């Protein structure tokens, strides 16, 4: 250690160095568990990249779910301002998870093919957290649930989210709570069904945008939802292009059509009226 470094260290006399009986940074974050979870099934160098990218993405998904569920509960209680901070955090998190695809795209097709067979039928298509994100946003796909029957605890978590109102459902209820006329069929609908656009909801949002000063909180809510969906679509697009870049149009390890499936879901909107009204304003 240089004399300069020694002096700098000695100047920080308050730094704790005795952790024989205290919790360390590694203890708090359970780094022993976290950093020992990258178990390659091959000897190929790039499998480490593949594992870490997907594990990091799952951690970001966990935070996204945490924030969306909290925002949904806040909106249900009429605490719209509280929900805005959470939804803003979701959008920022989405920007991080999108960049993960840029790192994964450094994996070439030839490199991936050297360990792809080790995955068996394991696939990101089976990510229960990704499905949970779709469920809390209101996109419900019943056939997907079969994948998770292997784990009763996990299946229960997904089933609960499958039947509960999503983020957009409580946002529509907020419109009704603020005096807008919303179709009873929408307010009392079966939340296990994927939401389809409704004329009364579109009219309500149109009114909010035309009178944003009067309905400022609802206007802000609408824009937070648009931000979230915009980022989600960008994530889907980067996912599709990364898969196309690495495996082309091969069938996915989980049996999906791969790029074909990913292109199809690009056409789905969670909050359709918020996009429709942009043409009508």
The answer to whether the annotation marks 162 as part of a ligand binding site is: no
Contact between 138 and 270 under an 8 Å Cβ cutoff? The reply is yes
Does the annotation place 50 within a ligand binding site? yes
Q: Using an 8 Å Cβ cutoff, are 209 and 198 in contact?
A: no
C-alpha span between 84 and 220 (Å, rounded): 8
| 189 carries a ligand binding annotation | no
Task: Calculate ∠ Cα 23-25-26, nearest 5°.
Answer: 95
Q: How far is CA 255 from CA 14, 124, 228, 245, in A?
A: 57, 11, 29, 18
Contact (Cβ atoms closer than 8 angstroms) between residue 84 and residue 224: yes
- Whether 52 has a binding-site annotation, put simply, is yes
User: Any known ligand binding at 54?
Assistant: yes
Is there a binding annotation on residue 141?
no
| CA 30/CA 34 separation, integer angstroms | 6
Residue 138, phi then psi, degrees to nearest 5: 105, 0
Which positions ≥6 away from 182 have C-beta within 8 Å? Answer: 172, 173, 175, 176, 198, 200, 201, 204
**8 A C-beta contact, residue 68 and residue 137:** yes
User: What φ, ψ does residue 130 adopt, rounded to 5°?
Assistant: -65, -40
**Does 53 show up as a binding residue in the annotation?**
yes
Q: Determine if residue 239 is labeled as part of a ligand binding site.
A: yes
Q: Which residues are annotated as a binding site?
A: 50-54, 112, 116, 239, 253
Q: Which residues are annotated as a binding site for substrate?
A: 50-54, 112, 116, 253
Q: Which residues are annotated as a binding site for heme?
A: 239
């Amino acid at each position: 250690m240089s004399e300069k470094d020694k002096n700098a260290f000695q100047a920080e006399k308050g730094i704790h160095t005795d952790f024989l009986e205290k919790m360390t940074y590694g203890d708090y974050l359970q780094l022993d568990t976290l950093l020992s979870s990258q178990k390659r099934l091959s000897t190929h160098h790039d499998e480490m990249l593949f594992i870490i990218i997907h594990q990091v993405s799952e951690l970001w998904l966990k935070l996204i779910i945490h924030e969306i569920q909290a925002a949904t509960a806040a909106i249900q209680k009429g605490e719209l301002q509280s929900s805005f901070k959470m939804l803003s955090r979701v959008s920022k998190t989405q920007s991080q998870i999108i960049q993960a695809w840029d790192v994964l795209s450094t994996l070439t097709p030839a490199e991936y093919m050297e360990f792809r067979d080790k995955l068996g039928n394991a696939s990101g298509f089976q990510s229960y957290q990704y499905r949970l994100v779709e469920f809390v946003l209101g996109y419900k796909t019943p056939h997907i649930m079969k994948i998770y029957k292997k784990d009763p605890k996990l299946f229960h978590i997904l089933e609960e989210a499958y039947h509960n109102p999503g983020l957009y459902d409580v946002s529509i209820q907020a419109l009704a709570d603020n005096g807008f006329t919303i179709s009873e069929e929408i307010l009392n609908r079966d939340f296990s069904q994927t939401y389809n656009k409704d004329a009364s909801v579109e009219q309500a949002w149109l009114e909010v945008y035309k009178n944003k000063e009067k309905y400022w909180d609802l206007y802000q809510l609408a824009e937070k939802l648009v931000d979230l969906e915009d980022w989600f679509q960008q994530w889907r697009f980067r996912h599709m292009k990364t898969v196309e870049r690495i495996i082309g149009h091969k069938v996915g390890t989980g049996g999906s059509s791969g790029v074909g499936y990913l292109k199809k879901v690009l056409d789905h909107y969670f909050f359709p009226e918020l996009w429709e009204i942009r043409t009508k304003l």
